[in-house]
């Protein structure tokens, strides 16, 4: 699958001259959205089924700084899926030099329109099958 | 009325070493929210009446740059109110030196839960009276 | 010239369910950066010559709201160039429906590394010629 | 020490109606800056000594969502200090209900103007003593 590319915008830099560290959490969201879309289970599908997927935890490891105009290459994988929660893993490298920039994780649950937790394993067989198969391919054992 | 104070955060600066110009649109929103709250017509009241107030236009004039840790003093006034639309005027000065930093305007309409335009003059007498009186005090003739 | 495309990210939406209005100032910056790059006078060239181009004024007119996943098509033109200041004009339309979304302007001066104003007409003949020709093509008379 | 208060701005919310999770990384920065200032070692002092403190890692645990107008109470502590790196720990609670909202950590190193790592233990005795004493009070053994 094609990795997601994010080109750093001027407004994403800070006084230190580098991309502000908070923005990488946003880049992970961009890449995750794109990844699920490409898997055939994009946001519109989530929405039409009345579920959203709030973030429970985030982990960021910054290896090299970036700055305006740099192109970041982001790959996404499903690290773990329990039937109720899913963890994504992200690897960012510099598009030109291929040097490692960042690794991170985000953990999510699923909730319905009333904010109640959704057991994907029981209620959403298609999403369940997809996440299971992605975790089997790239993930770590639960 | 007490002006609203915004202290510049590190993440609001950019590679040029100054506060990124897009953030002033956010500072205007912060100050407007605070201003309406202090006038007794805060966001909760708007929401309980089922109206929101989208932005139609923004105008920004940057006089002096600011940077991390600077404190910006923001005053808000109602520039114009037509019974349907309202324009706010903002003046930002440096808290320490009192030097002018920024002047701006935002123009708003009002919509109900279905996204239909609301004629405040007809439907919301209290809000209408408030905006009229604020415009009479600080504003320019329609 | 190819227009610049910005796809709305989830983090750019707000509680109203639409793209927060402050983000359009950032979209204008993205499109302007891309435009100058395509004209052969990108940020790297500016930087190598020791000049930056702070924003003096911004104008935004919001015609239709957008939301997550919408693709915005942005065209940029030089509205006016005085030899010292330049004004860009932006038109945003919906990529799918071609409906008008937003029009805006940004006005800029140029400063050197010490923050002193730069008279482009006198000091930077190449940039001067470029801005003159762009203004002649798309702009309004000074 | 007084905890740091952050009131959620409208532009910090997203389409889900809650504060976007990326903003908590910014709230941690706000609180850390305020904390070091109150300890007598604020950003100006760092800058005058020619050191900056980039972020190496971030950890976020979201317990309850927040939304516009909520006030978040943030306490900061030094979790660990090695003489070269420092880890801060953050606890966010709801100002009104005192309910837990978020816990997080940020890990930092120190670099000089050339981007070279700084061994605080050897070069900056005052900062070293401060971080040691804060870690002794609130932190965990290295």
The terminus-to-terminus CA distance of chain C in angstroms comes to 24
Q: Is D46 on the interface with B (CB under 8 A)?
A: no
B100 CB-near residues (< 8 Å, 6+ apart): B63, B64, B91, B92, B93
User: What three-state secondary structure class fits D88?
Assistant: strand
Query: According to the model, what pLDDT value does residue B142 have?
Result: 61
pLDDT by residue (tens digit) across B80-107?
999 999 999 999 999 999 999 999 999 9
CB contact under 8 A, B15 and A10: yes
Confidence of residue A141 (pLDDT cuts 50, 70, 90): low
Query: According to the model, what pLDDT value does residue D142 have?
Result: 62
List residues bridging with A61 in a β-sheet.
A103, D57
Asked whether A14 and A68 are in contact (CB, 8 A), the reply is no
Global confidence as pTM: 0.96
Confidence of residue A139 (pLDDT cuts 50, 70, 90): confident
Strands, sheet with C86-94, edge to edge from the N-terminal-most edge strand? B4-7, B71-81, B86-94, B100-108, B55-62, C55-62, C100-108, C86-94, C71-81, C4-7
Q: Which chains touch D (3 or more CB pairs under 8 A)?
A: A, B, C
Confidence of residue D47 (pLDDT cuts 50, 70, 90): confident
Are β-strands C100-108 and D4-7 bridged in parallel, bridged antiparallel, or unpaired? unpaired
State the virtual CA torsion across C7, C12, C13, C18 in degrees, nearest 10: -50
Query: According to the model, what pLDDT value does residue D140 have?
Result: 72
Q: Mind telling me how many Å the CA of D138 is from chain B's nearest CA?
A: 25
Here the tokens at position D40 are: 């007598």
pLDDT one digit per residue (tens) for chain C, 142 residues? 889 999 999 999 999 999 999 999 999 999 999 999 999 999 889 888 899 999 999 999 999 999 999 999 999 999 999 999 999 999 999 999 999 999 999 999 999 999 899 999 999 999 999 999 999 998 776 6
CB contact under 8 A, C15 and D20: no
Query: According to the model, what pLDDT value does residue C138 have?
Result: 85
Query: According to the model, what pLDDT value does residue C1 have?
Result: 80
Query: According to the model, what pLDDT value does residue C141 have?
Result: 65
Q: Looking at the partner chain, which of A15, A67, A68 has a beta carbon nearest the beta carbon of B68? A: A15
Q: Is D47 on the interface with B (CB under 8 A)?
A: no
User: What three-state secondary structure class fits C135?
Assistant: helix
Are β-strands B86-94 and C86-94 bridged in parallel, bridged antiparallel, or unpaired? unpaired
Average pLDDT, chain B: 95
Asked whether C9 and C71 are in contact (CB, 8 A), the reply is no
Query: According to the model, what pLDDT value does residue D141 have?
Result: 66
Which of B43, B46, B48, B60 lies closest to B102 in space, CA to CA? Answer: B60
Q: Looking at the partner chain, which of A11, A26, A68 has a beta carbon nearest the beta carbon of C9? A: A26
Say how far apart CA A10 and CA D125 lie, in whole Å. Answer: 37
Q: Is B96 on the interface with A (CB under 8 A)?
A: no
Chain C residue numbers touching D17 (CB-CB < 8 A): 15
CB contact under 8 A, A15 and B14: yes
CB contact under 8 A, D55 and A62: yes
Are β-strands B55-62 and B71-81 bridged in parallel, bridged antiparallel, or unpaired? unpaired
**pLDDT(B70) > 70:** yes
Chain D residue numbers touching A52 (CB-CB < 8 A): 16
Q: Mind telling me how many Å the CA of D47 is from chain B's nearest CA?
A: 12
């Amino acid at each position: 699958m094609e990795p997601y590319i994010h080109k750093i915008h001027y407004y994403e830099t800070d006084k230190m001259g580098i991309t502000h560290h908070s923005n990488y959490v946003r880049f992970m969201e961009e890449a995750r959205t794109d990844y699920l879309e490409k898997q055939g289970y994009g946001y519109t599908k989530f929405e039409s089924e009345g579920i959203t997927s709030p973030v429970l935890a985030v982990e960021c490891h910054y290896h090299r700084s970036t700055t305006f105009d740099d192109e970041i290459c982001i790959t996404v994988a499903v690290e773990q899926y329990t039937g109720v929660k899913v963890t994504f893993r992200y690897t960012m490298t510099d598009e030109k030099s291929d040097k490692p920039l960042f690794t991170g994780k985000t953990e999510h649950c699923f909730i319905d329109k009333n904010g109640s937790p959704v057991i994907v394993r029981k209620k959403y067989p298609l999403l369940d099958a997809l996440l299971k198969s992605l975790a089997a391919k790239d993930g770590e054992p639960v």
